[in-house]
C-alpha cells in the first residue's frame, strides 16, 4: 500500500467538502477519482499530496514522489519562456536534455522545443505540462482532468502512453468527471460526492449498472 486515507474530513468554514473518506492506493494501481463538479476531487488530491492538511482523519503514505498535473495551468503559460526552458528550469530534479527530448517526442511536440509557451495552443501547452510532471520520475502520477484541452486523436495516444507507464509499475490517479477515458482492465474507481459513494474495481462498478462513457452527473 502506498497511500491510505482514513476517515478524512475537510471543511471550509461551515461548508463540509469531504467527510469520512477512507480508501487505499496500492503500488501500480490505476485509480479513477470521479464525481460531479464541486464534489471535492481537487481538494482530495491536495490532501493526498500533502499540499493541504485534513481537518480530521489521517493520510499515510510511503515515501512517494508525486507527479502532479493540475487542472488549471494557465499562469506560467504567460511567461515569455520557451518550452525547453520551462521543462529544464522549472523542475527541481534538473532533468537531462535526453530525457526532455524523449518525452517531447512521446507527446508529439518535439518540433515546438524552442517555441515560446505563449505561442502554443491550449492543447500543446497541456502536453508540455504533462511532460513536466513526468520529468520528475514520479512513483505516482496524478492527472486532474488531463485531456480537457486535448484533441481526440492525441487523447487516444495520451491514454495509451499512460497505460504503458502503468504497465511499467507507475501508480496512476486520474481525476475525471466522465468515465469515457482512462478506464482499463483492473482500474479502480473512487466515486466522490462529499463522501465515498463507491470504492472498488471498474468491474464491480459495472455490476451496479454503471456504464463506460456515462457522465457521472447522470449515473
Ligand atoms: P471538484 O474538484 O470535485 O470540482 P473541489 O475540491 O474543487 O471539487 O471543490 C469542492 C468544494 O469546495 C466546492 O464547493 C468548492 O467551492 C469548495 N472549495 C474548494 N476550495 C476552496 C477554498 N480554498 N475555499 C473555500 N471553498 C473551497
The pLDDT value given to residue 182: 59
Question: Is 36 near ligand 1, meaning CB less than 6 Å away?
Answer: no
Ligand 1 probe mutation, 9, 21, 36, 40, most atoms within 8 A of CB: 40
- Span from the CA of 132 to the centroid of ligand 1 (angstroms): 25
Is residue 150 scored above 90 in pLDDT?
no
Of 77 and 111, the one with more pLDDT: 111
Ligand 1 probe mutation, 14, 43, 54, most atoms within 8 A of CB: 43
The answer to the question of residue 9 being in a domain is yes
- Span from the CA of 64 to the centroid of ligand 1 (angstroms): 25
Cβ contacts of 94 within 8 Å, gap of 6 or more: 88
The pLDDT value given to residue 135: 93
Atom of ligand 1 nearest to the CA of 40: 6
The pLDDT value given to residue 216: 47
The answer to the question of residue 107 being in a domain is no
Question: Is 47 near ligand 1, meaning CB less than 6 Å away?
Answer: no
The answer to the question of residue 79 being in a domain is no
The whole domain housing 214 covers: 1-64+140-145+172-219
The answer to the question of residue 102 being in a domain is no
The dihedral built from the CA positions of residue 13, 144, 52 and 193, taken in this order, carries a sign that is positive
Please compute Rg for the chain using Cα positions. 18
Of 55 and 183, the one with more pLDDT: 55
Total domain count for the chain? 1
The answer to the question of residue 114 being in a domain is no
Structural contact between residues 128 and 86, judged by C-beta atoms closer than 8 angstroms: yes
Percent of the chain with pLDDT over 70: 88
Q: In this predicted model, what pLDDT tens digit does every residue of 166-215 receive, in sequence order?
A: 999 999 999 987 676 656 667 899 999 999 999 999 888 888 876 655 54
Question: Is 75 near ligand 1, meaning CB less than 6 Å away?
Answer: no
CATH of the domain at 182: 3.40.50.300
Q: Does the global pTM surpass 0.85?
A: yes
Q: Which residues of 80-100 are buried (b: 16+ CB within 10 A; e: fewer)?
A: ebbbbebbbeebeeebeeebb
Separation CA 173–CA 110 (nearest Å): 26
The answer to the question of residue 154 being in a domain is no
Amino acid at each position: 500500500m502506498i497511500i491510505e486515507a482514513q476517515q478524512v474530513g475537510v471543511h471550509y468554514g461551515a461548508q463540509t467538502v469531504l467527510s469520512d473518506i477512507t480508501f487505499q492506493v496500492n503500488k501500480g494501481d490505476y485509480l479513477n477519482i470521479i464525481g460531479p463538479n464541486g464534489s471535492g476531487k481537487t481538494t482530495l488530491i491536495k490532501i493526498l499530496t500533502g499540499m493541504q492538511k485534513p481537518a480530521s482523519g489521517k493520510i499515510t503514505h510511503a515515501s512517494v514522489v508525486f507527479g502532479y498535473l493540475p487542472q488549471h495551468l494557465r499562469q506560467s503559460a504567460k511567461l515569455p519562456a520557451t518550452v525547453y526552458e520551462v521543462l529544464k528550469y522549472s523542475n527541481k530534479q534538473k532533468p537531462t536534455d535526453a530525457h526532455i527530448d524523449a518525452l517531447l517526442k512521446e507527446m508529439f511536440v518535439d518540433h515546438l522545443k524552442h517555441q515560446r509557451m505563449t505561442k502554443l495552443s491550449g492543447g500543446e501547452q497541456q502536453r508540455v505540462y504533462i511532460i513536466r510532471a513526468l520529468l520528475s520520475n514520479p512513483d505516482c502520477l496524478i492527472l486532474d482532468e488531463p485531456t480537457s484541452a486535448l484533441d481526440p486523436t492525441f487523447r487516444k495516444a495520451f491514454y495509451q502512453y499512460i497505460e504503458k507507464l502503468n504497465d511499467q509499475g507507475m501508480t496512476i490517479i486520474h481525476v475525471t468527471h466522465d468515465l469515457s477515458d482512462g478506464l482499463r482492465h483492473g482500474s479502480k474507481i473512487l466515486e466522490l460526492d462529499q463522501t465515498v459513494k463507491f470504492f472498488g474495481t471498474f468491474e464491480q462498478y459495472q455490476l451496479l449498472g454503471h456504464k463506460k462513457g456515462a457522465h457521472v452527473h447522470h449515473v
